[in-house]
Copies of this chain bind each other. A is one copy, B any other.
Amino acid sequence: MSPPVRIALDAMGGDRGAAVVIPGAAIALERRPEIRFLIYGDEPSIRPLLAQHEALTKACELRHAEVAVRMDDKPSQALRAGRYKSSMWLAIDAVKKGEADVAVSAGNTGALMAMATFCLKTLAQVERPAIAAIWPTLRGESIVLDVGATIGADARHLVDLAVMGAALAKAIFDIERPTVGLLNIGVEEVKGLDAVKEASRILREADLPQFAYHGFVEGGDIGRGIVDVVVTEGFAGNIALKTAEGTATQIAGYLKSAMSRTLMARIGYLFAKGAFDALRRKMDPRRSNGGIFLGLQGSVIKSHGGTDALGFASAVELAYDMARHDLIDQIRSTLEKLQLEPAVDA
């Protein structure tokens, strides 16, 4: 058996808190028996939930936290009320102290990012952290970042995103030299933001061994899996991600109503039920649950707040994959190399 991976959980995060986190952790443990959990939260309410999961009880240590960050807390409120004592803070702090390899929380994104940045600090080479998403494509999966950590980006930040995304792709997809594209509009025309054009020039000239710079990609190329890593700033990235999720929901709705409208369609549905079930699994947003915080001196995964136990388990498994690789060292060393290039300072 592989050596244990130590994962710190904020058991109070998400719309349903421990009621999702505990069974989610139990599912992840079944699939990855080498995980060891540090669970932070309100002990009296978590104990009875844990009691239902014998294997998890053995594989975890439960540590009481007095404070739970609320889903509607502003980042500043969360920091004020929850620093040093909330379950969210303590899970992150376990990573900082070296007690855990990675922290997972389904708590609110703004608060989690504020606490993670405050506690772990950004890498010396990185100005601002980012959130990466794993995006299902026709060819498999791609990484898209930033999906909402910060709004706007200069060329330098876009280059940082490219390096961080490529290191992540290498780690979790096991690709030796991932391809990286910059999200832009109308590739055939003289368009696009100056920062995007400048970042493109830097990446092309740097020609790093760590990844192959592909050039510009458009919104429609993401789902086609044209590149392993799609780089954009957080506003456009978040809108792209949520628009894609919304479109998937919309089409699932069309499909459902089409398949129930006529008797023939309902009969057809019964025959093809296995295929529909497979399709539903493929389109299930829980399968790719987890925003990955990048650019910090420690690994943090954000699970969707509204997910269920199965979705939370996916976030935990993603954390497991990340912990298996020395992602942060890879990002650091690539960025150090890039900083030697004069082009970056242009």
Per-position binary interface string of chain A over residues 305-343, scored 1 when its CB falls under 8 Å from any chain B CB and 0 otherwise: 000000000000000000000000000000000000000
**Of the residues B193, B221, B245, contact of A235 by C-beta under 8 Å:** B193
**Of the residues B245, B255, B270, contact of A255 by C-beta under 8 Å:** B255
Q: Is the CB of B246 within 8 A of A224?
A: yes
**Beta-carbon contacts under 8 Å, A56-85 to B:** 71-72, 74-75
**Beta-carbon contacts under 8 Å, A161-207 to B:** 183, 185-186, 188-193
- State in angstroms the CA–CA spacing of A151 and B223 once bound together: 23
A53 in contact (CB, < 8 A): no
Q: Is the CB of A274 within 8 A of B265?
A: yes
Q: Is the CB of B255 within 8 A of A191?
A: no
- State in angstroms the CA–CA spacing of A163 and B235 once bound together: 23
**Of the residues B137, B188, B221, B267, contact of A72 by C-beta under 8 Å:** B188
**Beta-carbon contacts under 8 Å, A233-248 to B:** 234-236, 238-248
Find chain B residues with CB under 8 A from A238 CB: 185-186, 218-219
Q: Is the CB of B250 within 8 A of A148?
A: no
Q: Is the CB of A109 within 8 A of B234?
A: no
Find chain B residues with CB under 8 A from A240 CB: 219, 239-240, 243
Find chain B residues with CB under 8 A from A109 CB: 186, 189
A216 to chain B, nearest CB (A): 12
**Of the residues B192, B243, B268, contact of A271 by C-beta under 8 Å:** B268
Q: Is the CB of B251 within 8 A of A248?
A: yes
Find chain B residues with CB under 8 A from A236 CB: 235-236, 239
- State in angstroms the CA–CA spacing of A192 and B29 once bound together: 38
Find chain B residues with CB under 8 A from A241 CB: 219
Q: Is the CB of A185 within 8 A of B239?
A: yes
Q: How many monomers of this chain does the complex have? A: 2
**Of the residues B110, B152, B222, B250, contact of A190 by C-beta under 8 Å:** B110
SS class of chain A's interface: helix, strand, loop or mixed?
Answer: helix
Find chain B residues with CB under 8 A from A235 CB: 185, 193, 236
Instruction: State which size class the interface on A falls in.
Output: 35 or more
Per-position binary interface string of chain A over residues 26-47, scored 1 when its CB falls under 8 Å from any chain B CB and 0 otherwise: 0000000000000000000000
- State in angstroms the CA–CA spacing of A49 and B20 once bound together: 65
Q: Is the CB of B191 within 8 A of A110?
A: yes
Q: Is the CB of A223 within 8 A of B239?
A: no
Query: Which residues of A are at the interface with B, using a C-beta cutoff of 8 A?
Result: 71-72, 74-75, 108-110, 137-138, 148, 151-152, 183, 185-186, 188-193, 218-224, 232, 234-236, 238-251, 253-255, 258-259, 261-262, 264-265, 267-276, 278-279, 282-283
Known: A223-B247, A235-B236, A268-B268. 8 other contacts (CB 8 A): A108-B189, A185-B234, A193-B235, A224-B246, A258-B276, A265-B271, A267-B271, A268-B272
Q: List, sorted by A's number, 18 A–B pairs whose CB atoms are closer than 8 Å.
A: A148-B191, A151-B191, A185-B234, A185-B235, A185-B239, A218-B239, A219-B239, A219-B246, A236-B236, A251-B251, A255-B279, A258-B282, A261-B275, A261-B278, A264-B271, A265-B274, A267-B268, A268-B270
